[in-house]
């Protein structure tokens, strides 16, 4: 039996489907599971105030430090980063947040191996960069660097020498160059933005869509594709975020309707191959192995795959049980690996003890 802790941002998880799914899967596989918050850690005593699920409700208890921590708390503010680093010295973590999506993009770009999948992107330093991108690509989008669940994503298209079209979630405007510069200056005054060419990823009916593949480590520490899906907007704009009304759809059906059955098979094969290879590549780029990665991709009119974002700390609003069926076995695997790593030469009692508990 492995003792698995889950570090949570929020104190109340009575309605959190992922925490409940993790607890149920852990119990079914003979492991002990509890969740806790940063303020529940007592480093001096190596104790944690946490909550354990009994099948009906969460019960508060005092726990020893677990064998492994499922990290569900991105390191964003300095206080949390300090707690994270201190706890990580004693207990292995399953997940590691590796900075902004721009940092991830730059790291992948510098490595070079997957540049054919990257959309050319630059941090927007001044409004004139939008005009420069329009001269080169004809259609561009600008979006917040930090991400905002699909909000504040803006589309520009060059129609003629001094004629441009602007779209956002609500409006469509016709502008000249001066109007574009003024609008961009106003829209980007409060936060940093990226500018990149627009990828025309749409359904057969013309609705904007993108695709997500979710990769997870299994109980053997190997990458597997857990699931994939499409997000389809009901409108004809540019945004297919769920926060903007996009619906989850079957990826194979969307691609079959768009490209036909045979081409769909080729694209799906390419998507799976890309996802497996890119997940392994991400492990090579960073000091810490990942437990879960989500790749948001577009597929253009020629069936070419484009990487929108590589999410190193993904979440999802559904399929919690499917995720838990890999989250828990991988956590137990990591605990066993850590136990072996810290055993003294010739002393296998720690490894045997944990493995014996895991196989009861």
- For residue 20, the SS3 value is helix
Residues 133 and 252 grouped into a single domain: no
pLDDT at 218 over 50: yes
Looking at residue 19, its pLDDT comes to: 92
Looking at residue 348, its pLDDT comes to: 40
* Residue 257 binned pLDDT confidence (cut-offs 50, 70, 90): very high
Looking at residue 259, its pLDDT comes to: 98
Which of 197, 219, 235 delimits the end of a domain? Answer: 197
Residues 35 and 150 grouped into a single domain: no
Q: Cα dist. 119→232, 270, 307, 343 in Å?
A: 20, 17, 7, 46
Residues 221 and 293 grouped into a single domain: yes
Residues 186 and 323 grouped into a single domain: no
Higher pLDDT, 17 or 75: 17
Contacts of 5 (CB under 8 A, 6+ apart): 33, 34, 35, 36, 48, 50, 63, 65, 66, 68, 69, 70, 91
Q: Average of pLDDT values for 222-241?
A: 85
Residues 231 and 170 grouped into a single domain: no
Dihedral of the alpha carbons of 300, 306, 308, 311, in degrees to the nearest 10? 130
What's the domain count of the chain?
3
Host domain of residue 159: 122-197
CATH code: domain of residue 105: 3.30.470
Lowest mean pLDDT among 81-90, 229-238, 320-329: 229-238
Which of 175, 197, 219 delimits the end of a domain? Answer: 197
Residues 305 and 336 grouped into a single domain: no
Q: Which run of H or E residues covers position 312?
A: none
Residues 262 and 184 grouped into a single domain: no
pLDDT digits (tens, 9 = 90+) for 6-47: 998 766 667 788 999 999 999 999 999 999 999 899 999 999
Q: Cα dist. 75→11, 32, 146, 219, 285 in Å?
A: 17, 25, 14, 25, 19
Residues 127 and 107 grouped into a single domain: no
Quote the CA–CA distance of 256 and 250 in Å, as a whole number: 10
Residues 206 and 106 grouped into a single domain: yes
Residues 106 and 226 grouped into a single domain: yes
Residues 148 and 107 grouped into a single domain: no
* Chain centre distance of CA 214: 8
CATH code: domain of residue 16: 3.40.50
pLDDT digits (tens, 9 = 90+) for 315-324: 666 789 999 9
How is residue 225 annotated by DSSP?
E
Q: Which run of H or E residues covers position 69?
A: strand 68-72
pLDDT digits (tens, 9 = 90+) for 161-198: 999 999 887 788 999 999 999 999 999 998 899 999 99
Quote the CA–CA distance of 8 and 13 in Å, as a whole number: 9
The beta-carbon contacts of 296-301 under 8 Å, at least 24 apart in sequence, are 296/210, 296/211, 296/212, 297/117, 297/210, 297/211, 297/212, 297/213, 297/271, 298/199, 298/201, 298/210, 298/211, 299/201, 299/211, 299/255, 299/267, 299/271, 300/199, 300/200, 300/201, 301/200, 301/202
Residues 210 and 180 grouped into a single domain: no
């Amino acid at each position: 039996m492995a003792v698995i802790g889950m570090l949570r941002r929020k104190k109340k998880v009575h309605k959190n489907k992922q925490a409940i799914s993790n607890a149920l899967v852990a119990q079914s596989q003979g492991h002990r599971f509890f969740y806790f918050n940063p303020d529940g850690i007592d480093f001096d005593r190596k104790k944690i105030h946490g909550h354990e699920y009994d099948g009906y409700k969460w019960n508060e208890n005092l726990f020893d430090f677990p064998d492994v921590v499922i990290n569900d708390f991105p390191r964003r503010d300095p206080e949390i980063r300090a707690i994270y680093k201190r706890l990580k010295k004693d207990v292995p973590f399953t997940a590691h947040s590796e900075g902004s999506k721009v940092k991830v993009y730059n790291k992948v770009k510098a490595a070079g191996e997957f540049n054919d999948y990257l959309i050319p992107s630059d941090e927007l330093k001044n409004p004139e960069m939008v005009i420069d991108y329009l001269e080169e690509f004809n259609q561009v989008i600008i979006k917040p660097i930090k991400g905002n669940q699909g909000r504040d994503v803006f589309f520009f298209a060059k129609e003629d020498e001094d004629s441009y079209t602007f779209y956002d979630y609500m409006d469509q405007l016709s502008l000249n160059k001066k109007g574009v510069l003024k609008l961009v200056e106003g829209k980007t005054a409060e936060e940093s933005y990226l500018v990149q060419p627009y990828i025309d990823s749409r359904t057969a009916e013309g609705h904007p869509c993108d695709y997500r593949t979710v990769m997870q480590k299994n109980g053997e520490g190997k990458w597997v594709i857990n699931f994939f899906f499409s997000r389809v907007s009901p409108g004809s704009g540019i945004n297919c975020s769920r926060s903007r009304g996009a619906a989850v759809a079957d990826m194979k059906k969307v691609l079959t309707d768009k490209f036909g059955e045979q081409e769909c098979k080729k694209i799906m094969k390419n998507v799976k191959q890309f996802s497996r290879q890119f997940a392994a590549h991400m492990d090579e780029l960073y000091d810490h192995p990942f437990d879960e990665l989500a790749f948001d991709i577009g597929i253009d009119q020629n069936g070419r795959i484009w990487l929108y974002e590589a999410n190193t700390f993904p979440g999802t609003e559904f399929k919690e049980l499917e995720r838990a069926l890999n989250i828990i076995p991988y956590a137990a695997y990591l605990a066993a690996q850590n136990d072996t790593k810290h055993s003294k030469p010739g002393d296998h009692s720690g490894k045997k003890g944990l493995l014996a508990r895991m196989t009861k």
